[in-house]
């Protein structure tokens, strides 16, 4: 949009409902007014670098702190700088950033502090992926010097290591960091812009067979070179379908009515669930017994059921401790049974335990609506999201009771109760 700007127009112009509104001032070449949907008005100067021929943009400042007259004056000064071969955007960045602040490490720290920790529930995963997969190669490099080819090289290393899904996650993370830098006027372009995901991801289909379930259940809590607690935590994943992050952070004050076997429950608060909604998991007898065993293994004043053994920090174990425990279990399997062979050929992950619960509930004719409630899947249906406040506590307890009876038969070989059709209760 182009027009001759005036003080009255700048003061009264309204933002678009979605997306940015950008208006070029016909009286001052290169001066633009940018308005976000939140009605934040910013003056910018657009130009073309005479040395490279590339377009650039320098921020002048926000309105009304900088009025139209001052913005035009600043744009005139920048235009003269460009005519003399300068680049006002680069000059501003260099003046703001010292040598240390110009490194990728410094940019990553800003991204985590100013964006990820404020807006993303997965900020801890971002920090971990940076530390493990990005910073070892880019830590001290100037972030403005990292090009598209560098991103491709970083991603291809992970694909070559047999980690295509992780490669795509790292590419998305790097793109998010550079989008943050672009919005903060630290760079002119995102090296990941329109870069297609290079890793080919396989949709998860792994479900444990009866033999693999027996192998897992009988060995996971005592054959690992780790604490018994982690094995019990993995058993909880197969009993409840809970996510590993939720299990790793399980707290004593999240447990209710443990003294009542038919009413015991684990209430995961909204700030610990993936969808941001409180999740009630009924603790049917087998799950309740695992929880009681976990409580017996910790001190009475310990809040976390799976406390870390690290000397450098306090709190619960990290979720990847459960994943590593599954890997260790797979590597130490002995024997040549069919279950061992299939396990070795495609080692399951903790998420496969969750998928197994969902699949087995379907085999037990548990309706999808109840399965979704057990696994805390968010429904896209407006009525379900906004109007259905029935918590399905009884239905979830019945579903998990049926699954644990089946699991007990698989593990012990003892005949269980006759399986009857699932009856959905109405609230």
In order, the DSSP letters of 345-387 are HS---HHHHHHHHHHHHHHTT--HHHHHHHHTPPP--HHHHHT
d(CA 58, CA 44): 6
300 DSSP assignment: T
Q: What distance in Å separates the CA atoms of residue 32 and residue 29, rounded to the nearest whole number?
A: 9
pLDDT at 383: 44
Query: Counting beta carbons within 10 angstroms of the beta carbon of residue 357, is it exposed (0 to 12), middle (13 to 18) or buried (19 or more)?
Result: buried
Question: Which residue matches tokens 């509104």?
Answer: 21
Residue 416's pLDDT is what?
47
- Res 12: pLDDT: 94
- Write down the pLDDT at residue 124: 82
Long-range pairs, 106-112, Cβ under 8 A, ≥24? 106/143, 107/143, 107/177, 107/181, 107/186, 108/134, 108/135, 108/177, 110/180, 110/184, 111/176, 111/177, 111/180, 111/181
Distance of CA 118 to the CA centre of its chain: 13
User: How many degrees, rounded to 5, is the angle at CA 102 between CA 97 and CA 103?
Assistant: 155
Mean pLDDT (the chain) is 87
The predicted pLDDT at position 380 comes to 54
Number of H-type helices and E-type strands within the chain: 19, 8
Q: For residue 310, what are its two tokens?
A: 């690290």
CA–chain centroid gap for 189, Å, is 25
Could you tell me the two tokens for 65? 């702190």
Query: Among 107, 110, 109, 47, which Cα is nearest to 74's?
Result: 47
In this prediction, residue 71 carries a pLDDT of: 94
Which residues in 271-292 are b (16+ Cβ under 10 Å) and which e? ebbeeeeebbbbbbebbbebbe
| Angle between helix 88-96 and 68-83 (nearest 10) | 100
Query: What is the structure's pLDDT at 397?
Result: 95
Phi, psi of 47 (to 5 degrees): -155, 175
Predicted local confidence at residue 336, as pLDDT: 85
Mapping DSSP to helix (H, G, I), strand (E, B) and coil, where does residue 215 land?
A: helix
Q: What is the pLDDT of residue 129?
A: 92
* pTM recorded for the entire structure: 0.57
DSSP classification of residue 144 = G
Kindly give the pairing relationship between strand 279-282 and strand 265-268.
Answer: antiparallel
Give whole-number Cα distances, 273 to 73, 152, 235, 353, 373, in Å. 52, 33, 19, 18, 13
Tell me: the pLDDT tens digits for 338-382? 999 999 888 888 999 999 999 999 999 999 999 999 999 876 554
What is the Cα Rg of the chain in Å? 28
Tell me, what's the pLDDT at 405? Answer: 94
> Is CATH 1.10.443.10 what the domain over 210-412 is classified as, yes or no?
yes
Which conformational region is residue 185 in: left (phi greater than 0), alpha (psi within -120 to 50 degrees), or beta?
Answer: left
Say if CB 284 and CB 404 are below 8 A apart. Answer: yes
Which residue ranges of the chain lie beneath pLDDT 50? Answer: 99, 223-226, 382-389, 416-427
Does residue 64 have a cis bond before it (omega within 30 degrees)? yes
Structure tokens at 112: 């985590």
- Check: CB of residue 31 under 8 Å from CB of residue 24: yes
What DSSP state is assigned to residue 16? P
Tell me, what's the pLDDT at 359?
A: 95
> CATH number of 2-95: 3.30.750.24, 3.30.160.390, 3.30.1330.10, 3.40.50.300?
3.30.160.390
């Amino acid at each position: 949009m182009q027009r001759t700007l005036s003080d009255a127009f700048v003061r009264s112009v309204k933002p678009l409902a979605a997306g940015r509104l950008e208006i070029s001032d016909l009286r001052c070449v290169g001066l633009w007014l940018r308005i976000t949907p939140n009605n934040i008005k910013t003056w910018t100067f657009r130009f073309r670098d005479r040395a490279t021929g590339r377009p650039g943009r320098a921020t002048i400042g926000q309105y009304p702190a900088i009025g139209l007259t001052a913005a035009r004056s600043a744009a005139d000064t920048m235009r003269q700088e460009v005519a003399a071969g300068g680049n006002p955007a680069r000059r501003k960045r260099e003046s703001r950033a010292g040598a240390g602040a110009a490194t990728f490490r410094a940019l990553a720290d800003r991204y985590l502090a100013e964006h990820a920790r404020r807006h993303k529930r997965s900020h801890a995963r971002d920090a971990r992926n940076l530390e493990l997969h990005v910073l070892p190669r880019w830590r001290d490099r100037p972030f403005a010097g990292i090009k598209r080819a560098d991103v491709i090289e970083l991603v291809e290393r992970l694909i070559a290591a047999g980690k295509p899904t992780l490669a795509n996650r790292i590419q998305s993370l790097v793109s998010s960091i550079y989008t943050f830098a672009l919005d903060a006027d630290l760079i002119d372009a995102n090296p990941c812009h329109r870069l297609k995901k290079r890793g080919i991801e396989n949709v998860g289909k792994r479900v444990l067979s009866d033999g693999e379930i027996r192998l897992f259940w009988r060995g996971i809590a005592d054959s690992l070179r780790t604490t018994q607690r982690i094995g019990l935590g993995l058993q909880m994943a197969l009993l409840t379908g809970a996510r590993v992050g939720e299990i790793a952070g399980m707290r004593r004050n999240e447990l209710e009515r443990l003294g009542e076997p038919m009413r015991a429950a684990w209430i995961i608060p909204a700030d610990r669930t993936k969808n941001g909604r409180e999740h009630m998991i009924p603790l049917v007898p087998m799950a309740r017994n695992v929880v009681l065993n976990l409580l017996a293994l910790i001190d009475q004043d310990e809040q976390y059921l799976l406390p870390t053994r690290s000397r450098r920090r306090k709190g619960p174990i990290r979720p990847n401790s459960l994943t590593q425990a599954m890997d260790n279990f797979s590597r130490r399997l002995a024997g040549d049974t069919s279950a061992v062979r299939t396990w070795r050929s495609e080692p399951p992950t903790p998420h496969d335990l969750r998928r197994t619960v969902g699949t087995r509930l379907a085999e037990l004719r548990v309706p999808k609506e109840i399965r979704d409630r057990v696994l805390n899947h968010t429904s896209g249906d407006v009525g379900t999201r906004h109007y259905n406040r029935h918590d399905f506590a009884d239905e979830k307890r019945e579903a998990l009771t049926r699954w644990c009876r089946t699991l007990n038969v698989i593990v012990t070989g003892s005949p269980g109760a006759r399986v009857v059709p699932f009856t959905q209760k109405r609230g």
